[in-house]
Structure 1
């Protein structure tokens, strides 16, 4: 049995929308997180980044649920703006340092704290994205839009 992958052609016309949306999203995140910049491994730094990622995930779910197959709008709002707004790359290293600081000298406590943190970092934005998708689909249906 062979598996074939079909290559999707790049839609270069969407690139300016994605870049512009990404710039706007990154600027919005920067303005929102300015009091905490640069994020550190403190509880407030982690809560700030988790909040940004959870809000961004919820909005991304909402966009994907509500705009349907409108490719340009999804590229600008979803891939661009909300992709630039969320910051999982900044959250990952903090999640690696925070358990060590929080647990002190206990490796077991650090591992447990890290595991709980990882679960929260994954579960909370996932739940927010799911809620956003469901709300977006409901809005789309009420408007008589396509899904």
Structure 2
């Protein structure tokens, strides 16, 4: 089936979007496995600072910034790029629910300062990470496009 604009793709039935659903499922499995491996590499006890979850969210936000710059700046990206990488891989890799549980656990185990620092720091670092991925990638894409247009 030929590539379709997002609006047309969204109106297709689930049976007609099997490739998109498969891309999301495979990407989600890969992202979740990567998150699990990071949690094994940087374990923490209940109530301790959850470095692995913070890293997942901050790195995932950096990469979503890069991805969105590529998708919006590149001519004709593949229609499965965003479902596979954005929704699937990065959706499986990042984890807002675990972030909230980690913050609540820190507060519940007598570490309210860690909980507040973790909760606010994660949001701030994640927002900055999106910008750090987005802005330089856009600049690189613009420079590459300008270089191709020069006589």
Q: Decide: shared fold, TM above 0.5.
A: yes
In structure 2, C-alpha distance between the alignment counterparts of 1:57 and 1:137, rounded to whole Å: 15
Look up the SS of the partner of 2:80 in the other structure: helix
Aligned length: 130
Displacement, 1:78? 0.9
Match of 2:52 in 1: 48
From 6, 9, 12, the equivalent of 2:11 is: 9
**Mapping of residues 1-147 of structure 1, within 5 Å:** 8-9=10-11, 12=17, 13-36=19-42, 40-43=46-49, 46-68=50-72, 70=77, 71-103=79-111, 110=112, 114-144=115-145
Unaligned runs of 5+ in 2: 1-6, 147-151
In structure 2, C-alpha distance between the alignment counterparts of 1:39 and 1:14, rounded to whole Å: 38
In structure 2, C-alpha distance between the alignment counterparts of 1:118 and 1:40, rounded to whole Å: 15
Unaligned runs of 5+ in 1: 1-5, 104-109
The TM-score, its normalising length taken from structure 1, stands at 0.74
Contact 2:43 2:52 in 1 (8 A): no
Displacement, 1:24? 0.9
Contact 2:44 2:51 in 1 (8 A): no
Match of 1:107 in 2: none
In structure 2, C-alpha distance between the alignment counterparts of 1:95 and 1:25, rounded to whole Å: 22
Look up the SS of the partner of 1:129 in the other structure: helix
The TM-score, its normalising length taken from structure 2, stands at 0.73
In structure 2, C-alpha distance between the alignment counterparts of 1:39 and 1:77, rounded to whole Å: 30
